[in-house]
Amino acid sequence: MKQKVLEILSKIFRATDRLLCWLHIKRPTVVVYMDGGLSSQMFMYIHGRYYAEQGFEVLYDTHWFDICGKDADGKMLRNFELLEMWPTLPFKRATDRQRKYYLLFFIADSSKGVDLPKAEQLKHSVYFNGYWEMSFADYSRLYATYFDITNASVPEKYVGKEVEKGVVGIHVRRGDLAKGDNPAYGGVSEGYFSRAIDFCNKQYKPTKFLFFSDEPDWVEENICQDLKQPYEIVKDNKAWEDLWLLSQCNVIVASQGSFGKVAAQMNPEAVLIQCDNKFAVRERANSHYID
């Protein structure tokens, strides 16, 4: 009975909202749900900016970070750090009342792989939940507009310090993606990091390796034991500080997930090394693929 009442109310509110938008009494409102790590936050933020460019009122629902804020295993923190790295971004949070109203009556739920609707298709307000796909052209344009590294905050600990040209940055994603069977992010092949390091040694003669990981002890024990070059496993950073530092490297080795690929996107001059699987970014120039 309750579900039936909600369905009826949803139809009424959507029809009313559609009429008010058609009469130009109000603008359609897009509420974007946000969760996950910094890369996910950036991606979801872009969803909203796409609609904001088309005249929509855009609100962001960050409630997840207050009630959960951890990875899928419930162990590692995922803090809302988007505005720490880009504090001047246009950003308006949904109030608790707005969040509940649009979530209850205007939700458009998505699993990975569903295309984000074109702005002209939306005739009323929408609450976008989940992960949506965008065209690579829109994705790249909006990233370049809002996530220019020159507009990002510089972590205080790195002010006045530059990453040497010979340093290779390597992201090693573990945590809830350690098994490599996540349908959205996949995994890297066994021995991938060893082969990527060998490739870097032959092609770029690195002076040092910088490792970024949510499991630094695992990196020390499983990757760094046989290294002949100097290396450093970056610890005690916030996610945005790691992303900033990784993006300064001229050669970036990406892991499963999107963190390394996002860092490379913020530095178009960087060489990006990726695992040669279906999750690799094929559209990007200056990339190498390792089995």
What residues in the chain have per-residue pLDDT under 50? none
Reported pTM: 0.90
Per-residue confidence (pLDDT) for residue 183, from 0 to 100: 60
Per-residue confidence (pLDDT) for residue 242, from 0 to 100: 96
Q: Are residues 132 and 40 in the same domain?
A: yes
Q: Are residues 52 and 182 in the same domain?
A: no
Number of independent structural domains in the chain: 2
Distant-in-sequence contacts of 261-266, Cβ < 8 A, 24+ apart: 262/38, 262/39, 262/42, 263/169, 263/171, 265/140, 265/143, 265/147, 266/147, 266/148, 266/149, 266/152
CATH number, domain containing residue 210: 3.40.50.11350
Q: Are residues 168 and 94 in the same domain?
A: no
Q: Are residues 132 and 201 in the same domain?
A: no
Per-residue confidence (pLDDT) for residue 86, from 0 to 100: 96
Per-residue confidence (pLDDT) for residue 264, from 0 to 100: 93
Per-residue confidence (pLDDT) for residue 221, from 0 to 100: 92
Per-residue confidence (pLDDT) for residue 184, from 0 to 100: 64
Q: Are residues 141 and 182 in the same domain?
A: no
Domain of residue 167, residue span: 156-290
pLDDT tens string 215-260: 999 999 999 988 888 999 999 999 999 999 999 999 999 998 889 9
Per-residue confidence (pLDDT) for residue 165, from 0 to 100: 87
